[in-house]
Every structure is written in structure tokens, then in C-alpha cells.
Structure 1
């Protein structure tokens, strides 16, 4: 029985805690906020919104791990039979059929896309510049980035193949992602994991067991005092709306003219809003320094087309900016192997969605957490290190409401 400390109670931290406890470690998990979940938190109250659109991809490695433990809970699927279905904003109007460029590129194997070229220049050679731009903007649903075409072609193509797969991979935990993290936390506690919330860690433990730092990369950079812990990420405006229901509202709108995604989550899960109300969540990537109002105005123009009378039907609204919290984005010439390494030396391991692990979206968090625990357990088995000194910490309460800008704490 070895001691392991996990700093951060989001998806990566809970994955690390559960897997380490299952392997026989004594685990303590510290989380700065009063609630667990990290970016997978779901707002309490009548409108159960996540921080931006969330979905599981069923072919991912975390899927089998969660289902084997009964942690996914009841699920909803993409409502393919929804009358209005998916609409595409292209050429200034809504369309029902995707452009040919999307169909042609979606059939291309990932191996065809080069690592060392940007997606736009590679795709433009196959489907033309306009087609490549439209497909790149569609990927806003999975990348939260204002210029997807500037990223590595191989990186983008892998995500395109996953997003465009038929039947769709995406499934949705009923009640929001918080339901999954709550079950993960219950599983951790049943295995003996000690969980402390409202605890901000200011210094790593010294002379004790291994530590898994499962925070944002910015928080890890401050906690570890390592300025090299950086990687490309995105910045996106989040817009949440509750509307009185109207027959014919689309399930989702993908903006192909500029990057943006709008999804009516109550189409697949009625529990997310009161009866006869629709919960619509949108995310619109913006460039560094770009004003939020520009993206909000663009969103409202698309809503005018897709959700007629939405202003008069609105009963609740929330806006926020997610800055640097949208996962790893690989530029041309780089892959996941070039991101900050999991093993930081001296018994410290890094987990999260911007570190050196493969996968799409939350799969990176999962894979890095599993690898971090495996490395930590092997290390303690070799050295025989046991016990732990509690890290220096302070307690605090963090809440995000209204139209605040979402930022990460400097430590977790």
C-alpha cells in the first residue's frame, strides 16, 4: 500500500484517484473548488448547463473504462430522428446538406494527412480553399479554436473523422456531466480515497509518495514553478440560452462561414431545463484580443436564422469566455508526443488535456491520468517509498456565475 497524492478533482484527477486506489494505493485528492468536476461541472438549478458543449465519444479508451465500472449512468444519443435535425450555416443561410468538401475529406484516412503541413493548405489542394475553410470551421465543435486551418493537418483530420462518423459516436450523460463525476467520486470514496474540497495547494509535498498534478496547464505551471509548461490552446465565447419551446427549432447548427456551434441539448435530454423550455448552448471561438461582443453579435445573427423569435422566447441567458481551457491543439510539425511530458521527475506526474497523451478531448485527460498512475506505481515499487507529507494548502471557495470570464486558479 503506497501513498499517492492527487491535486485536482476534475476528470483527470478522479480517473487517477480511482485507478490508483484500485491498484492498492492510499490516495488523497485535493480540489480547490467546493465541488468536484473541473471543466466537467454542471450548473445546479433549473438549467443544467455544462461549460460549453460536452459529449462522450464512444470509441474512446475512457468509454470502456467508465462503462466497465458502471460510471456513465443513463445516456442520451444524438437525436437523428429529430424533425429539424442538424442545420449548416453556409453562404449566409441555413442549409440541410453538407458541402461536398466535407464528404470528400471525411472519407480520407488520417494517415493521408501530413503532420508537418497546416490543415488549410493540405485540404485546399484537395477540395479548394473555400471547401477547406468550411470544413475547418465545422471542427469548431471539437476544437474551440478560431483558426482550425492553421493547425496540423494530421491533428485536424483525426478529429474530423471522429466528428463525422456515422452512426455518430457522441452520447450524452443524462443530467449533465456532473452526474458522471459524482459517480466517479462515489467510486473513489468507496475505495478509500480521501477527498478534500475547498483546498488550494500552494506547495508540493516533500519526502513523501508520488504526486499526480491533474490541474490545468496554467495552474500546474505556477504550482511547479516551471515556465516550460505551455502549449497551444483556444479561446471561445460560451453562450447559454433557455427558450420557450417552438416546434421546428433545429437540433444543432454548425456555422461553416465562421467557426461556431449551437446545440439544443434538451433535444436529447429533457431533464436539463423546465418543461416546455429548450436549453441551447453555443460556443464561438475568438482570436486572442478579440472582443466577446463581436462573437455574441455573430451568434445572434445565426440564432435569428435558426431559432425565429428567440429574443421574445428567451427566459434565461448566460455568457462567458473560456480562455486557455479548451485542450491541446497541435501546430504543424508537432504531435501529442511533443506536449509537456507526464513524468516531471522527483515523483511528480502531470495529467490533463494538454499533456503528452493521445486521444480526442477528454480522452487526453483520461490517458494521461492512467499513464501517470502507472508510472507512479512502478516508481514506488522500485524504490519502496511509502507514506506522504501533506502538501501546504489554504482553503477557499470559488464560484462562477452570471457573465463572468472563466479563468483557472493559480493552484488547485
Structure 2
């Protein structure tokens, strides 16, 4: 008899789990509460093809090779060399073409300790000014208001990945939705039963394994488990469509504070109508900081890198993402200290705030593969014990 697995959640982690389990011969049913699959990887249908905040793949991550082997990445958008040269950094209130050289030196280190703050350790290595600029730069890969307060090992890994040369970040043409669409098609080819608009308020009654691939908040409610907590970032998201103008920056990174603005149509013109550019920003918010404060900081970065952007704006959207930007690790903790994948009684947890290594979506990917492996082992044990 084929093994049966139920998956709750049709985002990147849930689809990874569904494909992996089906490839091993399991009968898989996937429940997604929304009408569209993808979770935070969903891309708006247009005319402005936005994601929920800036999205990119880090091509040295484990999910990259897995997706490529299955033909799920698809065509990639290439950043023109001219735009790569238009990366800008705010430092000491001015826009600069290059970050402090010490950031590159910090990015290549491999000895950052788990038990110290990044700011404390990096200040000893490169000086406090460079350490603070490096910490602020890493906000793009942590969505945290002060990465300098986090574990040095945690923050330095993200600095290494985000500041590496050549850049690790790559962009699927059409946004992440194109990858999600290919993943869902692959799941269907493998016989996965996908039920959209299927919101579950409790775990289904079954003796077969269940994989919960939702946000940690949703999993806590679904499993009625108060232990499912974890620290994450709170971030202002700003999407703009502006009329095109030569000379706009490709990226503006705030090294005086924390924030990142990126012109996504630099690499993928399909994301906005002809003659317009799609700009997306994320500004991590400190505890108690208002949305208005974050917007004011975002507009300062836009003023520096996108001259006349207010008069050129044809569409605008803002939101605040709370607790949905991946786990962060404080000094003395690692990914192993987050909620475990195996919750007992045949229930497994998948997501970007659980106990799996990696950066951003890599955590969801790693936890998905581990959950499937554990679920299939449990299924075999139950089958042999009958």
C-alpha cells in the first residue's frame, strides 16, 4: 500500500515537501487556504508583478541545485552591467558608489562566534564604524531593525551571502510566481492532490503523517502548541511604479540605518508596463516604530537614488509585514534552538522559523526535505510493525 501524507500549506515549503514526498512514491494531499498557491512567494497578477517584499534566490543555496535539477527555475533575469554599476550606499548622509572596504573583509571571515553580538565582534575586527555599516547592510537578508544585536555567526553568514562577488542573488523571469507555477505543475504530474481554498481549523483525523507548512503563528494555532514561538523581523514594505528615467539607481542600501530599495525592472522588464519601472523597498521597523516613520526613511532613500520620483509615481502600495520574515538568532543561539521539525505523533513542521539551516527561503526548503524524510521513515516503521 502506498504511504499517505497530508500537507497543510501551499507555499514554497509545502510544495517542496509535496514534490519530494511524491517522488518517493507517497500519496500526497496538499491543502492551501487561499485560492492561489505560493504563500509569500506569490507574485501579483499585474500590471505590476510585485512580490511580498523584495525576493531573490541565492544561487549557492541547497534549494537552487534541487530546483535546477528538476527544471523548476526557468529563465533567469540578468542584471545589465550598467545597472550593477548603479548600486548606491547611503553613508554619513551621502550617497556613495562603494561601501567601506572593511565590509568585504568582514564578509570573508569564517570565525564569527555564536555567543557574541555581531556589532561587538565586528567592531574588534574592523572598527565600530565599519561594523555598524556592515550590520545595517545585512538588514536586506534579515529584515531586522538592528542585525548588530544578533549572533555574530548568524549575521556574518548573511553578510557573506549578501555581499559576495559575483552577486549570489538571481531573479526568475516573471517573479517567484513563475517558479511556484512550475512547482505546482510538477506536483500535479506526480499525482499530488492539491485542494485550494481549503482552510483547516484543526489537524485532520488520520494515522498518516501530517506536514504543517504554514507560518509559525498559524502552526501554533493549528497545533494548539504555545511552544511554537520565535523572534522575527517587522518590516515596512513599499512598492512603487514610476515613469522611467535614465540615471535612476539600481539599489540604494542604507548604511546609516537599515533599509533597502531596489529597482526590479532593471533585470526583468516584464514586471511593469513599458515606460515604467517597479521599485520595491523594505525598511525594518524597530519595536514601537510606526509605519509612518518607516515610510519617511524609505522616502529619504528614494530622494537620494530616484530624482523626481514623487512626480513620476503612477502607482503606490505600502504594507507592514510582522513575524513573517524568517527567524533571527540572538547571541548564544543557533538554528538548532528554533522549534523542531518533528513535533511528535506523526506531525512535522516546515517553515522559515524552524530548526533548519540556511538563509531566508532555504530554511523552509531544508525543513521540508527533513519533514518528508522523517515522515517516510515513520510510515515505513508503521507498515513493517503491522
In which range does the TM-score fall when normalised by the shorter chain? over 0.9
Deviation at 1:385, TM superposition (A): 8.7
Looking at structure 2, the residues matched to 83 and 142 of structure 1 have their Cα atoms a distance apart, in angstroms, of 19
Unaligned ranges ≥5, structure 2: none
Aligned to 1:104: 105
- 1:384 is paired with a residue whose SS is helix
Deviation at 1:302, TM superposition (A): 1.5
Taking a change above 3 Å as real, the CA distance of residues 195 and 382 of structure 1, as seen in their structure-2 partners, is same
Looking at structure 2, the residues matched to 247 and 57 of structure 1 have their Cα atoms a distance apart, in angstroms, of 28
**Equivalence map 1:302-321=2 (5 Å):** 302-321=301-320
Looking at structure 1, the residues matched to 164 and 85 of structure 2 have their Cα atoms a distance apart, in angstroms, of 20
Aligned to 1:21: 22
Deviation at 1:289, TM superposition (A): 2.1
Calculate the aligned-residue CA RMSD, in Å.
1.2
Say if 1:5 and 1:212, in contact at 8 Å, map to a contact too.
yes
CA deviation profile, 1:231-272 (whole Å, cap 9, x unmatched): 110000000000100001111110001100000000000000
Looking at structure 2, the residues matched to 291 and 48 of structure 1 have their Cα atoms a distance apart, in angstroms, of 27
Looking at structure 1, the residues matched to 201 and 301 of structure 2 have their Cα atoms a distance apart, in angstroms, of 44
**Equivalence map 1:6-405=2 (5 Å):** 6-82=7-83, 84-109=85-110, 112-384=111-383
Aligned residues: 384
Deviation at 1:81, TM superposition (A): 3.1
Looking at structure 1, the residues matched to 310 and 384 of structure 2 have their Cα atoms a distance apart, in angstroms, of 61
CA deviation profile, 1:60-86 (whole Å, cap 9, x unmatched): 111111011110111113433327520
Say if 1:78 and 1:170, in contact at 8 Å, map to a contact too.
no
- 1:101 is paired with a residue whose SS is helix
CA deviation profile, 1:256-301 (whole Å, cap 9, x unmatched): 0110000000000000000011100000000122100001011111
Looking at structure 2, the residues matched to 357 and 385 of structure 1 have their Cα atoms a distance apart, in angstroms, of 29
CA deviation profile, 1:46-99 (whole Å, cap 9, x unmatched): 100001110011111111110111101111134333275200011111000111
Say if 1:84 and 1:248, in contact at 8 Å, map to a contact too.
no
Unaligned ranges ≥5, structure 1: 387-412
- 1:48 is paired with a residue whose SS is coil
Deviation at 1:367, TM superposition (A): 0.5
Looking at structure 1, the residues matched to 113 and 210 of structure 2 have their Cα atoms a distance apart, in angstroms, of 36
Deviation at 1:130, TM superposition (A): 1.8
Deviation at 1:129, TM superposition (A): 1.7
Looking at structure 2, the residues matched to 80 and 124 of structure 1 have their Cα atoms a distance apart, in angstroms, of 33
Looking at structure 1, the residues matched to 187 and 58 of structure 2 have their Cα atoms a distance apart, in angstroms, of 23
Aligned to 1:403: none
Deviation at 1:344, TM superposition (A): 0.4
